[in-house]
Copies of this chain bind each other. A is one copy, B any other.
């Protein structure tokens, strides 16, 4: 059991510490530490010696010790509402990849769309001494209070996708408005004249912006806004079915639907097919998120890609900038990603009207 009684450090026993290296080389731990971190006060010859021995003994620094001393670890905390579907797993994938490249590990937390969980997650991450926190807000987060503690501690904070508007924060977002605008315009260009919209909860920036883009497009075609054509919901598949029913019951039903989410537009498609209404000939459809299934349905669904991977990478990049720009205190920045419209069969009128 006794592992410290050896003259020359052997590879045999567990973790090699800086003390081991120091003893072996007959220098102080300071020298070893500074040699490893390329400190100016260490001579090139000594540095070489240390590096070589470190490699030879396969020295692995104890992250915890460093974290304790420095008050910061090599961990990045990520808070997402949930880990399902296509979007969040992909963003997390992007984050993980970029973070690891920069020498960080990521801790995943879910808020389960609940601000109370979100608060707990913050606590957890803070006393895990994370180097930074990346977060996409839960659905019912409406204030900023629990994040102030993070800022007060000087822990870099970056939001992505779902953010609190108005507040001056670091964030990576998609240009949802532009995506919605392009999509709606596309429907209009295909000949639609009454385009309906499945809208999400309006306190969330993403859904508000998508609705705004929809309105922009209508205006650009000098079309009037008909509030009857906007259906607000949580955008589930079931609500897509219900919404479509509601639209069909209108005296003057739409000839196109743009949904702020793919599940709901899928619901609409299923309902239309069950009623024998042709897509896109009778009603054209387009969604948002470019979920995997959009390329599988018949007809395939037009949708907006959210650049999940890029968003993850950009979020980490922004975090890194914050880490490096340590001095500058109020360095706030927003990165806006451009969405990409994938036009598929569900919106392609070939020469209608």
Footprint of B on A, CB under 8 Å? 14-15, 60-65, 67-68, 73-75, 82-84, 88-90, 92-93, 96-97, 100, 105-110, 123-129, 152-153, 266, 292-293, 296-298
Contacts and interface: CB of A to CB of B under 8 A. Distances in A.
Nearest to A66: B64
Contacts of A124: 100, 105
12 contacts: A14-B153, A15-B127, A62-B129, A64-B128, A83-B89, A83-B93, A88-B89, A105-B107, A105-B109, A292-B293, A296-B296, A298-B298
A109 B96 contact: yes
A46 B189 CA distance: 75
A8 B3 CA distance: 44
Given A97-B110, A298-B298, A68 B60 contact: no
B61 A127 contact: yes
Given A60-B123, A83-B90, A100-B124, 13 more contacts: A15-B153, A61-B127, A63-B129, A64-B64, A64-B68, A64-B129, A74-B128, A75-B128, A84-B93, A105-B107, A106-B108, A293-B293, A296-B297
Contacts of A108: 92, 96, 106, 108
A75 B105 CA distance: 11
A117 to B, nearest CB: 9
A20 B127 CA distance: 16
Given A65-B68, A68-B68, A128-B63, A107 B106 contact: yes
Contact of A100 (B14, B97, B106, B109): B109
Contacts of A266: 296
Contacts of A92: 83, 108
A68 B62 contact: yes
Nearest to A90: B84
Contacts of A67: 64
Contacts of A84: 89-90, 93
Contacts of A292: 292-293
Given A64-B73, A83-B96, A93-B84, A105 B127 contact: no
A23 to B, nearest CB: 20
B105 A128 contact: yes
Contacts of A293: 292-293, 296
A322 B125 CA distance: 25
B60 A126 contact: yes
Nearest to A266: B296
A299 to B, nearest CB: 11
A83 B88 CA distance: 10
The 10 closest A-B pairs by CB, nearest first: A89-B89, A60-B127, A64-B68, A64-B67, A83-B93, A293-B293, A64-B129, A105-B107, A293-B296, A83-B89
A139 B109 CA distance: 27
Nearest to A78: B108
Nearest to A130: B105
B75 A107 contact: yes
A49 B159 CA distance: 39
A298 to B, nearest CB: 6
A44 B311 CA distance: 52
B82 A93 contact: yes
Nearest to A73: B64
